[in-house]
Structure 1
Amino acid sequence: MIKCLSFMLLATLVASCEWSSSSSSSDAPVSAVRRKIAYEKWLEVAKEDFRLCPKYGNGVKSQEQINADKIFLETVIAKAGSPDSASNHYFLKACDYLSHDDLQTTMYRLNQAWMLNPRNPDVYRGFGWVYNRLEEYQLALEQFNEGLSYDPKNEELLMEKSFVEKRLKASKRPTSL
């Protein structure tokens, strides 16, 4: 598993670690809606697309979606060699999309990484990053804490949690005129 001290280092690393034959986010333009989106708009879109919610919003999937998931899991695990390796791969793909400000595709890839390994603490770090970008610090904090429940000594999660706690505290301070 790749460890890093900053997201920029990780994003740089991601660009050189692609093993998938699928195109990366840098190959396609990102729509304005995907680049910068307010949380209210995010929630509106998420009503129609549960892939925008961590862990697919814990929603009930149709039989068609369950069958597609089964094929996806079998295919990527066979290619990666293990669910953990496949989960890490999709986490890195999410990092690439995040570095291009494509929050929607970031969340899609994080959910795929989660489906491959629901105990991967990096996935929760990624969920937290998306909420952090949406300036939803409490939700980001909840994701970091969930990741820490699987790996309480994870340095990256502890660092991210600290940053978000500071942002959360600052956002609750009254401003003076």
Structure 2
Amino acid sequence: MKHLVVASFAGLCLLLGLPAASYGNHDGPRPINTLPRYGGKAKSKALQKIDQDFIASELRKYRRDAHAASEVSVELGWQHLAQQDPAVSIKRFNQAWLLDSTNCNVYYGFSACLSLQGDAKAAREYFRLAQRRDPKNQGAAKYNERLAELRNKQADVSANILT
């Protein structure tokens, strides 16, 4: 019976155009750009070149202000997370991290993604990393507010699908 309910839910999500496991864990290897800080894995020379070109382009666009460029990518990450697209969200947070690895909001973003994906341990670790870069806790309140909004939205979507 449980399998029938899960299959029905997945089918309904497919018909409605919703991801069936939008925040759930995924089986199999995931591309490194969908893992926070690229999963700590070494990149090929080709990927390193892409990163260098991206950074150069963004720095030109934001007048050499890496933090400003990083903040734009952070905002895009939150927007994709609100649209229940955690893979693209992490890609944007990774881009923000490339631009400014000291930006506390990058780590808050990773924490939110991991929290919504059900990885509480990793989410706590990224939250701690964020707080180390945010000694006055200026980003923590915004993080908590955004995460609460996302959880409420996620609960509303689930409730609407089940009714």
Match of 1:36 in 2: 22
2:107 aligned counterpart, secondary structure: helix
1:67 to 42, 45, 49: 49
Paired residue secondary structure (2:139): helix
Write out aligned runs for 1:111-150 (5 A): 111-150=94-133
> Among 32, 35, 59, which residue is 1:50 paired with?
32
Following TM superposition, by how much is the alpha carbon of 1:154 offset from its aligned partner in structure 2, in angstroms?
A: 1.5
CA 1:155–1:36 in structure 2 vs 1: closer, same or farther (change >3 Å)? same
Tell me which amino acid in the other structure corresponds to 1:92.
Answer: E
1:67, CA displacement in angstroms? 0.8
Task: Give the conservation status (yes or no) of the 8 Å contact 2:66–2:99.
Answer: yes
| Residue in 2 that maps onto 1:102 | 85
Matched, 1:76 2:58: yes
Are the counterparts in 2 of residues 56 and 111 from structure 1 also a CA contact under 8 Å? Answer: yes
| Conservation of the 8 A alpha-carbon contact between 2:23 and 2:84 | no
5+ residue gaps, structure 2? 1-16, 149-163
TM-score, with structure 2 as normaliser = 0.71
1:73–1:116 Cα contact (<8 Å) kept: yes
CA deviations on 1:125-166 (whole Å, 9 max, x unpaired) are 0001001111221211110100111122224326857x99xx
CA RMSD in angstroms comes to 2.5
Percent identity among equivalent residues?
23
Normalising to structure 1: TM-score of the pair?
Answer: 0.66
Structure 1 unmatched ranges of 5 or more: 1-29, 165-177
Instruction: Tell me the matched-pair count.
Output: 130
Instruction: Indicate the structure (1 or 2) with the bigger Cα radius of gyration.
Output: 2
What secondary structure does 2:125 align onto? helix
